[in-house]
Amino acid sequence: MSLKEYRAKRRFTRTREPSVSMEKKPEDGLVYVIQKHRASHLHFDLRLEEAGVLKSWAIPKVPPNTPGIRRLAVRTEDHPLGYERFEGTIPKGEYGAGTVEIWDRGEYRLLESGPDRMTVEISGRRLNGRFALIRIKAREGGDKTWLFFKLREPAVADRNDN
């Protein structure tokens, strides 16, 4: 994965957002963060570490910690590692102008991964448990449109009373 698109959209002389991925201790878990971004439209940016960058999705509504609520999640450009610590104001006239605050942060475990589906176990302060990201074909947004939702806990295995 590359940060080409991320860098092309930003002028690092104007914004305090990081331009490169930061080094990370290998023993630390995979980064999970959701940033509340008050830009032209309020949205929540979900970011999951993968291969040295943060895979990113913009979610227009509050991410749910309850099964049964599905949220649209629009895939956006990869962000550099270290962006999970970014909070502050992106100046007027710059890409994503507005304020960014960390809404939830922690770690995640990858349970399943494919081009159209990811299952993760999130350990955050607000979101906890197993979540799925499923890519859907949408008329608007094309193949960048995904659904993000919490999975029901697996049923407790039946006790064998025989």
Stretch that binds Mn ion, among 16-24, 30-38, 118-126, 134-142 (CB under 5 A): 30-38
Is residue 53 within 8 A of residue 81, CB to CB? The reply is yes
Cβ proximity to Mn ion: between 49 and 76 the closer is 76
Determine the residue with CB nearest Mn ion.
Answer: 37
Cβ proximity to Mn ion: between 45 and 77 the closer is 45
Does 78 participate in binding Mn ion (rule CB under 5 A)?
no
Cβ proximity to Mn ion: between 97 and 147 the closer is 97
Hey, what are 20's tokens?
């490169």
What whole-number distance in Å separates Cα of residue 94 and Cα of residue 113? Answer: 34
Q: If you write DSSP's letter for every residue of 56-125 in order, what string do you get?
A: EEEESSPPPSSBT-EEEEEEEEEEETTGGG--EEEPTTSTT-EEEEEEEEEEEEEEEE-SSEEEEEEE-S
**Count, residues near Mn ion per rule CB under 5 A:** 2
What whole-number distance in Å separates Cα of residue 136 and Cα of residue 1? Answer: 21
Nearest distance from C-beta of residue 152 to Mn ion, angstroms: 29
Nearest distance from C-beta of residue 47 to Mn ion, angstroms: 10
Nearest distance from C-beta of residue 44 to Mn ion, angstroms: 8
Pairing of β 42-50 and β 30-38: antiparallel
Nearest distance from C-beta of residue 76 to Mn ion, angstroms: 7
Cβ proximity to Mn ion: between 37 and 150 the closer is 37
Q: If you write DSSP's letter for every residue of 135-147 in order, what string do you get?
A: E--BTTTBTTEEE
Site for Mn ion in 41-60 (CB under 5 A): 45
What whole-number distance in Å separates Cα of residue 91 and Cα of residue 95? Answer: 8
Cβ proximity to Mn ion: between 45 and 104 the closer is 45
Out of 37, 47, 71, 79, the only residue in the binding site for Mn ion (CB under 5 A) is 37
Q: Which residues bind Mn ion (CB under 5 A)?
A: 37, 45
